Amino acid sequence: MKVTENEPLPDRVEQFLRAPRPAVIGTLRPDGSPSTVATWYLWLGDNRLLLSMDEGGFRARCVARDRRIALTVIGDDWYDHVSVRGKVVELRDDPDWADLDALSQHYRGVPYPRDADFSPLSAVVQVEGWHEFRSTTRT
């Protein structure tokens, strides 16, 4: 497994990341320990991705304090995955839910439900490093 730093992702990795795949994000808690949770993401291109979180929620507080994140995206076979590491370069309110709707459309094909008790906050992440793992059990 080769970790690649500060280089554009190859087309095959970008294609992998463009699909609506399960992902797990890692952030740092106030004491420096890691925290992970399943998440949606949207690949924007140019080594950037979009996340949405609840403004004032645990993950938003972690990201506001320490903008470093890690994200592992899982393929159809969970042995196939891509992990990226980066920094949140933009945190912005999403008052009209445009970013959250884009994520919901990507994963579910419908806008995010408006009855949710949620104040969306968008995060744009600049990817600084990545690696991929591909199954060795394929025939």
pLDDT-derived band at 78 (thresholds 50, 70, 90) equals confident
Which DSSP symbol is given to 136? S
pLDDT at 71 over 90: yes
CATH topology of domain 4-133: Pnp Oxidase; Chain A (2.30.110)
Q: Quote the mean pLDDT of the chain.
A: 92
Which DSSP symbol is given to 103? H
**Cα–Cα distances in Å, from 60 out to 13, 46, 55?**
27, 23, 6
pLDDT-derived band at 2 (thresholds 50, 70, 90) equals low
pLDDT, mean of residues 22-48? 96
Q: Check residue 3 and give its pLDDT.
A: 61
Q: Check residue 118 and give its pLDDT.
A: 85
**Cα–Cα distances in Å, from 32 out to 10, 13, 68?**
32, 30, 11
pLDDT, mean of residues 121-134? 95
